[in-house]
Amino acid sequence: MTAICYGTWDGAVFDHRYEAADAGVVPALVDIEFFDKNNRVRAFFGDRGFFVFDPTVSLIDGLWRQMISAAEQSCGKCTPCRMGTILIRDALDALRRGERTLSLADIEVLADQMTATSMCGLGQTCARSLLAALRNFSDVIEAEIERGPQPEQNGMAYMTAPCIEACPSRVNVPRYIDYIRDGKPEHSLGVILQKYPMAATCGRVCVRFCEMACRRKLVDEAVGIKTLKRYVADQQQGSKALAFGRELISQPLGPNMRVAVVGAGPAGVSCAYHLLLHGYHVDILEALDEAGGMAKIGIPSYRLPKDVLRSETDIITELGGRFLFGRALGRDFTIDDLFSRGYRAVFLAIGCQQGTRLGVEGEDPKLSGYKSGIGFLLEVHDHVAGTTTSSIDGHVVVVGGGNVAMDCARSALRMGAEKVHIVYRRTRADMPADSEEIEAALAEGIEFHFLTNPVRVIAENGRITGVEVTDMRSTLPDASGRRGVEAVPGTERALPCSTLIAAIGQQVNKGTLSPEDGIKFDRWNCVAVNTDDLSTSRPGVFAGGDCASGPSTLIHAMANGLKASRSIDDWIRLGKVQFQPRARMREILNRNKMLATDAVEVPVKPQYRVHHPELDPEVRKQMFEEVEQTISAEQAYAESKRCMRCYRTYSVITERPISNGA
Amino acid sequence: MQVLDQVTADVAEFEAVINGKTVTALSGETILQCARRYGIYIPTLCELHDIDHTPGTCRVCLVDIHTRDGDKSHLATACTTPMQEGLEVQTRTPAVREMQRLQVELLMADHDQDCATCIRHGKCDLQDVAQFVGLRTNRFYNPERVAARPIDDSSPALIRNMQRCIRCQRCIAICRDGQGIDTLIQTGSGMDTAVGLRYGLTQKNSACVTCGQCVLVCPTGALGERDETDRALAMMYDPDLITVVQFAPAVRVGFGEEFGLPPGTNVEGQIITALRLLGADIVLDTNWGADLVIMEEGTELLHHLAERKRPTFSSCCPAWINFAERHYPDILPMLSTTKSPQQCVGTLAKTYLPQRMGIDPARIRVISIMPCIAKKDEAVRRQLTHDGVPEIDVVLTTREFARLLQRERIDLKRLEPSTFDNPYMSEYSGAGAIFGTTGGVMEAALRTMYYVVNGRELETVELEQLRGFEGVRSATVDLGGTIGQVKVAMCHGLKPTRQIVEAVRAGTADFDFIEIMACPGGCVDGGGTLRSKKAYLPYAMKRRETLFGIDKKRAVRQSHRNEQVQALYRDYLGKPNSEKAHELLHTYYTDRKIEMTQTVREIWADIKMNYKDY
């Protein structure tokens, strides 16, 4: 509950300047009064309006600060935003200094022009607070001008977009799309590489939270953000590849500044990458003899060719990092060992690779034909890598509804299965797998059994011969609105199969961490972390990726790697993890749902998205070569033009300076 | 763009309203397209319909719209906003007019205001729009902002003056989608937004091949040739110099419209008169050089055919030479070594001509008038300068020539035509005339090669099978004799050119002779031709037809029957491809490929420079 003094939001005007102090309580606003616990927010400026909490705030100064950010971020292509942001910024700056270059009426005309006629979200929204202030609180502004030069204020501005906020790694999506449109795919890749090194990998297998948030959906379809990412990342294969190398590290640190990363999966690689860029000496200890983690073993090569992943994990070596393969935590070393070897901090990115059992009668991992999802993908990986040969025949039943289940089913087909069934206890709409993955599996002839659940494993002479399943039905929604499912009595039947793959979930391998390591677990058997900074129960040890969150996505893992690298850098340099003002800004925006999914009011010409050229399902289901191909430059240009650049600027005025380089 | 086509494939009609009048709109069409069909003018700057370009950057084509279900009206850009059933559009409300005016004023805030010094003065889309919106003040103009914008004058041919750029991105579109060179990129951000060359290279050292198609679409004076009208004038007015002027096959059919004559009019005679008025001492015809090129290149090609060396690429287009040297140096050995007609005329104007006419070669200056910007590149190639003396001293584009006549107050339309009078280097055959259009070089070459192989002329000189207009055309022609069938291909525009070059390199193309013209349509639509406002290559077919008409009317239609060319061989060179011909009329090419590797560090530095809070 936040008490505001005056302001406007979505056209509604609040004015409690002449009322009792508690009159302006706006229940809709949550947790906005404090930026951090010692720093009060005096005013907030956004795309839909502004709130002033402290009547002594200088509006002119606050609006000027917001416009500085807009002018810095304006791409400069369209006329009103290019000139408008600068003219308004300079006019407000003059007013702030007690001078007057443009009249308030002129400023209003410019702000209106920019808002009404700019090409993208940046220009259309960055002057809305200003317009609202000029139209509703001109008396405040006039009074400020009357008083002369404005007092110095503290604060920060933050520009974002729905897709950026949706991305766990906060990749600046509109910018990297814009760079493609500009004809600079290498700059586009540069934007992605600021967040993680595995761009081509992400461009193939990301679950695309960004596309779910994309406002282009309000016109036709979401922009093919992942497709474009893959396009720019694939420029790295060939003569136009950008060079990495040690010169990228601006300030190399001394030889004692060493960090150990345990696990060479996406979280570990991402963390190591950022620490290396910060100048640290990083060793990645990996139990297997190659890098990539789940991206390597858990994603089949028809979706992510191994050489693509390899070229991206090699960036670590190019930056001077070391992979120490064949070293497993718990078997070959303990966390104490790491500290005693001189590592200043440890990042645990050990994943969770132990398959969760189905928990049904007759289930026994020792049965021939019984596999866990993750175990099966490992077999497939070794088969494709050529280290072992294995094959499957007869019918295969995969239990589960996530991407791992889809990967298992499509891989089983390629390994020679005669028929593949997917058994999932809820409906298709409930499936956590990507809809594209489900579509692809259907196209390849995989049979889905929705609202079906295994109840018993059938085996003869130690071999699986089938699985007994039952129909399920939805129950009434519970208090949280989610429907449960229950078995329909009397619908039990046998589904004959020679292979049963349980792909319903994973947990951290038992035996990796022992009580002496001093790392606490949560109730899901994952490493317990403080989600703000990824610190564990043991000082100097941080954890991220699947081992901290349970099985999750590549992009979450890489985002964790970045977050952990910042925490580790702070912890080593300062002995504590610093406050992150941008994270706090995001928290304010998200908790108050500031980024509205507002309608697209002016009609936009529909242009449907490009699709990857794909191999024919009849051909591809027999092979492990990549199914999707990179789009052409022409297609990339066309797709990039679909982005509407829904940038929004937010800024706060605070009581004290915002720490940690706002 | 393919995607777009699918959407607009089935066109439905529906009603909407523009300025109170009911209109029938077509599904998939924009407000601008619909308004234009109904003759309603909406000012535009960045949009260019002929190349399907609607970047929506200038924001001048503002209209007021009210959707059928909407509760209020909105401003929208007519070029990007689709028509909708029941949409009410107003193009001239006070708010719209005022915002259009302010938009142009904002556009002028960092725009070079020195219109009098601009090559586009009086022919500028921005000036037109400023007049339309009634611009009277320029409150935001700041010369410092103008000065901060870059000018790239590194190239001998093409000047890129960003102080006059309005960020319409038409040049990027034509380079990327039209020609497939894709070397122009958007650089900078905010006020620094400009168009630059890929990798930050200068115009001179970039992968640009100077085809000049970007100049044809530029709405202002931001892009243009290096203006050399003063140099040309100085030569013509210098009594100590003998100025020799030649003009290209395509110039005579793409010049009259500047003076109010119908597009495609042949003004050869008026140009000759104008040149003499200007003070040219000797007027030669590049068409004569074209006939000569056929003798040299045709002979070269017959040698290659005898040696089974294939394919041979034509070499008269300088943007094509730039393209091969910059992008595909591995194919350079396949290029004909014969110089272009311009250079053949230039070199002989300083050797053969003075010898025949008994004048001092040191006093000769050769000016050529070309529908081409890349000819300026060609003229300064070091292979084509001997002991410090260039074969060609000045190249004027068709546009510069128009500017020159206007400066000298010569109205072409009022001039009596005259004829060439030089007895050595001005006669031409119909074959030389059609050099200016796609397929013309091939047709001219085949006419002569047929004669050389068979000792008799082709029965039908017009080779209709070569005369299509597709980007890549191929044909099989029976030359008879020991040669038999030859497979030929003709390409115009660099996108089709890239396709055929890739096919040759991949070994999938089966051709003996390939004619390349870098500009779509060939020289008649060259990068040095007159600019058309709001249109791209509107007169291509008219100019082409006139060239074929000239061919038809010529008494001599084969290069080898050009008597002045025969005299050149008889009196001076010996025979085609003789040692002397090789010395004077052949050249070589060099690998000038641009290879760049960038580092992540450089890219990051550039991103951070543009966006400060990244």
Residue spans per domain, chain B: 2-92, 110-226, 230-585
Q: Give the confidence band of B117 by pLDDT, cuts at 50, 70, 90.
A: very high
3-state DSSP assignment of residue A650: strand
3-state DSSP assignment of residue B57: coil
pLDDT tens digits, residue range B548-570?
999 999 999 999 999 999 999 99
Note the CATH number of domain B2-92: 3.10.20.740
Q: Give the confidence band of A22 by pLDDT, cuts at 50, 70, 90.
A: low
Interface test with A, best of B46, B603, B610, B612 (most A CBs within 10 A): B603
Match 């008083």 to its residue by tokens. A147
Higher-pLDDT residue of B529, A373: B529
Match 């070589």 to its residue by tokens. B588
Q: Which long-range contacts (CB under 8 A, 24 or more apart) does B381-387 make?
A: B381/B587, B383/B587, B383/B588, B384/B339, B384/B343, B384/B346, B384/B347, B384/B587
- Rounded CA gap, B92 and B35, in Å? 12
Q: What is the pLDDT of residue B92?
A: 97
Q: What is the mean pLDDT of residues B102-117?
A: 96
pLDDT tens digits, residue range A141-186?
999 999 999 999 999 999 999 999 999 999 999 999 999 999 999 9
- Judge contact between A189 and A232, C-beta under 8 A: yes
Chain B nearest CA to A201, separation (Å) = 18
- Quote the distance between the C-alpha of residue B446 and its chain's center: 26
Q: What are the residue ranges of helices labelled H in A543-612?
A: 546-549, 554-574, 581-591
pLDDT tens digits, residue range A280-305?
999 999 999 999 998 988 888 888 99
Q: Which long-range contacts (CB under 8 A, 24 or more apart) does A589-594 make?
A: A589/A158, A589/A160, A589/A165, A589/A650, A590/A165, A591/A30, A591/A31, A592/A28, A592/A29, A592/A30, A592/A31, A592/A32, A594/A46, A594/A47, A594/A48, A594/A648, A594/A650
Q: What is the pLDDT of residue B3?
A: 40
Q: What is the pLDDT of residue A297?
A: 83
Residue A484 in tokens: 């449960």
**Residue B193 to residue A608, Cβ atoms within 8 A:** no
- The sheet carrying B158-161 orders its strands as B151-152, B158-161, B223-225
CB-count burial class (<10 Å; 0-12, 13-18, 19+) for A153: buried
The total of other beta-carbon atoms located within 10 Å of residue A270's CB is 32
Model confidence at A507: pLDDT above 70: yes
Residue A257 in tokens: 């500044």
Four-way CATH pick for A2-161+647-654: 1.20.1440.230, 3.30.70.360, 3.20.20.70, 3.40.1710.10: 1.20.1440.230
pLDDT, averaged across chain A: 91
pLDDT, averaged across chain B: 95
| Of A69, A80, A191, Cβ closest to residue B106 | A80
A-chain residues within 8 Å CB-CB of B605? Answer: none
| Of A75, A605, A607, Cβ closest to residue B193 | A75
Q: What is the pLDDT of residue A613?
A: 77
- Judge contact between A205 and A303, C-beta under 8 A: yes
Cα Rg for chain B, rounded, in angstroms?
Answer: 26
The domain over range A355-507 is classified in CATH as 3.50.50.60: yes
Backbone dihedral region for residue B173 (phi beyond 0: left; psi -120 to 50: alpha; all else: beta): alpha
Q: What is the pLDDT of residue A390?
A: 81
Q: What is the pLDDT of residue A381?
A: 79
| Of B59, B65, B192, Cβ closest to residue A119 | B59
The fold for domain B230-585 equals: Rossmann fold (3.40.50)
Nearest to A237 by CA among A300, A305, A293, A286: A305
pLDDT tens digits, residue range B406-429?
999 999 999 999 999 999 999 999
**Residue B188 to residue A76, Cβ atoms within 8 A:** yes
- Judge contact between B522 and B250, C-beta under 8 A: yes
Interface test with B, best of A318, A605, A612 (most B CBs within 10 A): A605
pLDDT tens digits, residue range A584-604?
999 899 888 888 666 777 778
- Quote the distance between the C-alpha of residue B291 and its chain's center: 22
Cα Rg for chain A, rounded, in angstroms?
Answer: 28
Q: What is the pLDDT of residue B10?
A: 64
- Rounded CA gap, A44 and A47, in Å? 10
Higher-pLDDT residue of A27, B61: B61
Residue B404 phi, psi dihedral angles, 5° rounding: -65, -45
Q: What is the pLDDT of residue A567?
A: 97
B-chain residues within 8 Å CB-CB of A79? Answer: 57-60, 103, 106-107, 167
> Touching check for A219 and chain B: CB below 8 Å?
no
Helix and strand totals (H; E) in chain A:
24, 25
Q: Which amino acid is at A415?
A: M
Locate the chain A residue with the closest alpha carbon to B56: A119
The fold for domain A244-353+518-578 equals: FAD/NAD(P)-binding domain (3.50.50)
Q: What is the mean pLDDT of residues B391-401?
A: 98
DSSP A25: E
Model confidence at A115: pLDDT above 70: yes
Give A157's strand partners.
A651
- Judge contact between B78 and B30, C-beta under 8 A: yes
Looking at the structure, give the CATH architecture of the domain made up of residues B110-226: 2-Layer Sandwich (3.30)
DSSP assignment of B143-211 equals HHHHHTS-EE--SSSEEEEGGG-----HHHHIIIIISS---EEEE--GGG-EEEEGGG--STTSS----
Give B160's strand partners.
B152, B223
Interface test with A, best of B10, B29, B59, B66 (most A CBs within 10 A): B59
Model confidence at A491: pLDDT above 90: yes
Chain B nearest CA to A614, separation (Å) = 17
- Judge contact between B53 and B173, C-beta under 8 A: yes
DSSP assignment of B413-466 equals GGPPP-----SSS----HHHHGGGSTTHHHHHHHHHHHHHHHSS--SS---GGG
Element spanning A273, H or E:
helix A266-277
Nearest to A315 by CA among A282, A351, A352: A282
Q: What is the pLDDT of residue A394?
A: 92
Chain A nearest CA to B612, separation (Å) = 6
Backbone dihedral region for residue B507 (phi beyond 0: left; psi -120 to 50: alpha; all else: beta): left
- Rounded CA gap, A407 and A299, in Å? 7
Q: Which of A86-90, B113-117, B332-336 has the lowest mean pLDDT?
A: B113-117
Highest mean pLDDT among A611-620, B158-167, B468-477: B158-167
pLDDT tens digits, residue range A406-451?
989 999 998 889 999 999 999 998 888 888 889 989 999 999 999 9
What are the start and end residues of each CATH 1.20.1440.230 domain in chain A?
2-161+647-654
Element spanning B105, H or E:
helix B94-107
Higher-pLDDT residue of A344, A27: A344
- Quote the distance between the C-alpha of residue A50 and its chain's center: 28
Q: Give the confidence band of B210 by pLDDT, cuts at 50, 70, 90.
A: very high
Q: Give the confidence band of A523 by pLDDT, cuts at 50, 70, 90.
A: confident
Inter-chain CB pairs, A–B, below 8 Å: 178
Q: Which of A218-232, A511-525, B7-21, B95-109 has the lowest mean pLDDT?
A: B7-21
Chain B nearest CA to A147, separation (Å) = 27
Chain B nearest CA to A13, separation (Å) = 20
A-chain residues within 8 Å CB-CB of B193? Answer: 75-77, 82
Q: What is the pLDDT of residue B2?
A: 40
What percent of chain A has a predicted confidence (pLDDT) above 70? 97
Chain B nearest CA to A462, separation (Å) = 56
The total of other beta-carbon atoms located within 10 Å of residue B370's CB is 33
Q: What is the pLDDT of residue B5?
A: 44
Model confidence at B354: pLDDT above 50: yes
What percent of chain B has a predicted confidence (pLDDT) above 90? 93
What are the start and end residues of each CATH 3.50.50.60 domain in chain A?
244-353+518-578, 355-507
Model confidence at B324: pLDDT above 60: yes
Model confidence at B475: pLDDT above 60: yes
**Residue B190 to residue A69, Cβ atoms within 8 A:** no
What percent of chain A has a predicted confidence (pLDDT) above 90? 69
Residue B128 phi, psi dihedral angles, 5° rounding: -60, -50
Residue B597 in tokens: 């590797």
Model confidence at A326: pLDDT above 90: yes
pLDDT tens digits, residue range A126-147?
999 999 999 999 999 999 999 9
Max distance between CA atoms of chain A, in angstroms, equals 94
A 628-657 near B (Cβ less than 8 A): 633-634, 637-638
- Rounded CA gap, B20 and A534, in Å? 63
| Of B59, B176, B604, Cβ closest to residue A190 | B604
DSSP A517: G
Q: What is the pLDDT of residue A237?
A: 83
Q: What is the pLDDT of residue A21?
A: 58
pLDDT tens digits, residue range B235-285?
999 999 999 999 999 999 999 999 999 999 999 999 999 999 999 999 999
Q: Which of A625-629, B80-84, B540-544 has the lowest mean pLDDT?
A: A625-629
Interface test with A, best of B53, B133, B184, B613 (most A CBs within 10 A): B613
pLDDT tens digits, residue range B364-380?
999 999 999 999 999 99
Model pTM score = 0.90
